[in-house]
Structure 1
Amino acid sequence: MVVIRRARAADIAAIAAVGSRAWASNIFSFEPELPGMRAHVEKAFLTFAQAFFADVQVAEIEEAIVGWGARDEDNDYISDLWVEPAVQGQGIGTSLLRALKLAVAEAGYTHARISTHARNVGAIRLYEREGFRIVEQGPEWSTSLEREIDKVKMLAELG
């Protein structure tokens, strides 16, 4: 059974590891891997987890973190949604996304925003199933890939 809960400081390493593995398993299915990219991304996930773990919701199965999502600012934007590659397709992303949308609604917002790489078809399908629609598509700088990529911005009405 999946349990969604607020992250704790003790979860920082697991959050970074799950994020790094999920990012790599997805992005390298449609983007080339450049030298040093994995190390750069692993460091970025660890830095993020250290700074924002209090804003992270984790998904656990038998006390092991298998996914997480975040709103790294107190607004209507869902900044992150990552699921351990070995358990993708089992509803964990859906559970996390619903928890994050609820947090956005409880903060008083009427809409939730999220974005992803335009070639991330699986994420786009998940977001659409959960009520998001594409409102914009175009080039945007990717810090992790260190170049412009085609991104989609999506919006869901809450309530």
Structure 2
Amino acid sequence: MVVIRRATEADIAAIAAVGSRAWASNIFSFEPELPGMRSHVERAFQSFAESSYQHVTVAEVDTTIVGWGAREKDNDYISDLWVEPAVQGQGIGSQLLRVLKIAIADAGYAKARISTHARNSGAIRLYRREGFAIFEQGLEWSTSLEREIEKVHMLAELG
């Protein structure tokens, strides 16, 4: 059974690890891995987890964190959604998205926003299944890839 809950400080290491593994397993299926990129991203996830865990919602199975999502600024934007590669496709991302959308609606927003790499077809499929539609696509700077990439921005009506 999947339990969805707010993250605590004790979850920082797991948040960073799941995020790093999920990012790497996905991005390197369509982007080249440059020297030092993986360690750069691991540090970035660790830093994010340490500074922003209070904005993170985790999914756990048998007390093991298997996914998480974040609203880094507690607004209408879902800044992160990561699921452990071994359990992707089991509905964990959908459950996290639904909980995050409810939190956004409860905060008074009529719409939820999310974005991803334009070549991340799996994420785009998931977001579409959960009611998101692409409203913008274009080049943006990627801190993790250290270059411009094509991104899609998606929007879902709430309520």
**TM-score normalised by structure 1 residue count:** 1.00
Aligned equivalent of 2:35: 35
2:127 is aligned with 1:127: yes
Aligned equivalent of 1:54: 54
| In 1, Cα distance between equivalents of 2:75 and 2:14 | 25
1:1-159 aligned at under 5 Å gives the runs: 1-159=1-159
| In 2, Cα distance between equivalents of 1:143 and 1:104 | 26
| In 2, Cα distance between equivalents of 1:119 and 1:125 | 11
Q: CA deviation at 1:121?
A: 0.2
Q: Which amino acid in the other structure matches residue 69 of structure 2?
A: G
| In 1, Cα distance between equivalents of 2:138 and 2:37 | 23
Q: Which amino acid in the other structure matches residue 151 of structure 1?
A: K
| In 1, Cα distance between equivalents of 2:95 and 2:121 | 19
SS state at 1:131 partner: coil
Q: Which amino acid in the other structure matches residue 89 of structure 2?
A: G
| In 2, Cα distance between equivalents of 1:71 and 1:99 | 11
Q: Which amino acid in the other structure matches residue 139 of structure 2?
A: P
Q: CA deviation at 1:74?
A: 1.8
Q: How many residues align?
A: 159
| In 1, Cα distance between equivalents of 2:52 and 2:108 | 21
| In 2, Cα distance between equivalents of 1:133 and 1:90 | 22
| In 2, Cα distance between equivalents of 1:49 and 1:107 | 23
| In 1, Cα distance between equivalents of 2:104 and 2:141 | 25
SS state at 1:30 partner: coil
**TM-score normalised by structure 2 residue count:** 1.00
| In 2, Cα distance between equivalents of 1:83 and 1:72 | 17
| In 2, Cα distance between equivalents of 1:133 and 1:99 | 18
Alpha-carbon deviations, 1:92-150, whole Å to 9, x = none?
00000001101100100000000000000000000000000000001000000000000
| In 1, Cα distance between equivalents of 2:45 and 2:67 | 13
SS state at 2:78 partner: coil
SS state at 1:108 partner: coil
| In 2, Cα distance between equivalents of 1:129 and 1:108 | 23
| In 2, Cα distance between equivalents of 1:132 and 1:48 | 25
Identity of aligned residues (%): 79
Q: Which amino acid in the other structure matches residue 3 of structure 1?
A: V
Q: Which amino acid in the other structure matches residue 106 of structure 2?
A: E
